[in-house]
Amino acid sequence: MKSKAAIGNHPLHPAVVVVPIGSWFATLVGDIAYMTTGNPFWYQFSYYTMLIGLLGALAAAVLGFIDYFGVKMSEAGYRIARMHMIINLVVSGAYAFN
């Protein structure tokens, strides 16, 4: 299984997914800090980290779609990839709605 979205032999999708994961964790930390301190800095911090997470999720989704449609996998591999895609699109949609 060789990624179509890669630099050399290094697939890009796994490298990019750390951006939304880290950003959304920072959003959680900022929300907790805002709720406990009431400092408006943390509200803005959470807003921008959520936005960065959404942009990172969009980039990861594009790279994931390239791999999903461009890499030959077994039926079990497609099933797992499809569930991964659906779960992540739902989570990204929830963050966008928020």
Using a 10 angstrom Cβ sphere, with 0-12 exposed, 13-18 middle and 19 or more buried, the burial of residue 7 is: exposed
pLDDT of 4 higher than 90:
no
Measure Cα distances from 88 to 12, 76, 77 in Å: 17, 18, 16
Give tens-digit pLDDT for 69-78: 998 999 999 9
Whole-number mean pLDDT of the chain?
93
Confidence grade of residue 90 (pLDDT, cut at 50, 70, 90): very high
pLDDT of 1 higher than 70:
no
pLDDT of 45 higher than 70:
yes
Give tens-digit pLDDT for 30-42: 999 999 999 999 9
Report the distance separating Cα 44 and Cα 11, nearest Å: 33
Q: What is the pTM of this model?
A: 0.85
